[in-house]
Structure 1
Amino acid sequence: MPDSPAPAPRRGLGIFLLIAGALGLLAAYELTLEKFLTLADPTHVPSCNVGVLVGCGVNLASWQGSVFGFPNPMIGLMAWPVVITIGVALIGGVRFPRWFWVGFNIGVAGALVFVGWLIYQSIYVLDVLCPWCMLTWAVTIPTFWVVTLHNLREGNLPASARVRRLAAAWYGWIPVITAACYAIVILLAQVQMNAIPRVMIDFQNYFN
């Protein structure tokens, strides 16, 4: 049965999941749309193609962009509405059972692993940075940390009392943890791709 109103911690978690889910769904929608437009017209140039380094055309055309036999963003079209629904439910005061949180955590962990693989492919294989893909990365990373640390501190995941206390303390540092993850990705891209100056050149040429 729903609570009225939802406790502040769960309401805050719900708001985050709602926003993250909406951003992830936007990215999935735009990528799926560009894929369909490209299939309908092979000469179509995706609107997210900014330059040589920044663009989604290469990703969409590669086998990495359809790992399971269909465009990867279609997974987002199915998964992110679930995240949005969970967020709305938490804001409304719904209490989910422990098994639900465990399943949700497995889902976001799987999403993080998949995103990590896609990041590797983009940086080390395809040599391109897809704007909508990067938005997906940007919301998947904090979603994993938020859900995992929430489940640890609440005891939804098996953990000792010490781990639960650490998770509760780290929960307030999620913005810093997320920023550190972003910094690692940026560093890898810079070392491997010389990304920062190339991105600047792409945008300069795009707007000139």
Structure 2
Amino acid sequence: MTASGVRNRPIALAIFMIFAGLIGLWASFELMIEKIHTLENPGVDLSCDFSLVVQCAANLGSQQGAVLGFPNPIIGLIAFMAPVVVGAAILAGARFNSWFWVVFNLGIAGAFAFILWLAYQSIFNLGTLCVWCMTVWSVTIPLFWAVTLRNFKVGAIPAPKRIRKAAGAAYSWVPVIAIVGYIIIAVVAQVRLDVLAYL
């Protein structure tokens, strides 16, 4: 492969997708282990239960914790394989057509919408913050912005030139965008739950 061919591949994005996917898999696995513990020993104190507010038992035992009729961590164990595989394929030299990036982006957008809904449910209805859930949120947020802005930037998602230009400018600011997202969730959680008082 030529040097220009290597430059045209989103190497940095691929590495980040692998990194984010592995963290998401790890968090989903830990949540699944905790869920198994609750099934084997109902009422047991879980390792992720730190206080009345910072815990995962309430989340795992809720209806929101099994949206499709089975524990949400199973979704994570399946879904987070996608960015790992796609990232590894890019590093191995694979190139994907625009339709693939659009479908991949739709999947990540769905994950992004799902974690926003779960964050809302956790803060406003369950009144808890789950450590492993927040780990999943922390990688899904930048993953969504990185893939989406990249796709607009390179034209994988059709858009006017000015939008592509704006996406290109915003692409390098993904870490900042993600941090702003974290801060918004943290502020809302603090205002709603007074988390600091329970630490």
TM-score by length of 2: 0.95
For residue 101 of structure 2, what is the amino acid of its counterpart? W
Counterpart in 2 of 1:159?
159
Secondary structure, aligned partner of 1:68: coil
The answer to whether structure 1 residue 195 and structure 2 residue 163 are counterparts is no
Inter-partner Cα distance in structure 2 for 1:116 and 1:42: 28
Counterpart in 2 of 1:87?
87
Inter-partner Cα distance in structure 1 for 2:43 and 2:53: 19
For residue 14 of structure 2, what is the amino acid of its counterpart? G
8 Å CA contact 2:189–2:195 kept in 1: the answer is: yes
Query: What count of residue pairs does the alignment treat as equivalent?
Result: 198
Inter-partner Cα distance in structure 2 for 1:90 and 1:9: 7
1:1-208 to 2 correspondences below 5 Å: 6-7=6-7, 10-198=10-198, 200=199
8 Å CA contact 1:55–1:131 kept in 2: the answer is: yes
Secondary structure, aligned partner of 2:180: helix
Secondary structure, aligned partner of 1:6: helix
- 1:197 Cα shift? 2.9
- 1:38 Cα shift? 1.3
Unmatched 5+ stretches in structure 1:
201-208
Instruction: After the TM superposition, list the runs of 4 or more consecutive aligned residues in structure 1 that deviate by more than 4 angstroms.
Output: 2-5
For residue 11 of structure 1, what is the amino acid of its counterpart? I
Cα 1:107/1:139, change in 2 over 3 Å: same
Inter-partner Cα distance in structure 1 for 2:38 and 2:148: 37
Unmatched 5+ stretches in structure 2:
none
- 1:179 Cα shift? 0.8
8 Å CA contact 1:6–1:94 kept in 2: the answer is: no
Counterpart in 2 of 1:204?
none
8 Å CA contact 1:3–1:95 kept in 2: the answer is: no
- The alignment-based identity, stated in percent, is 45
- 1:7 Cα shift? 2.5
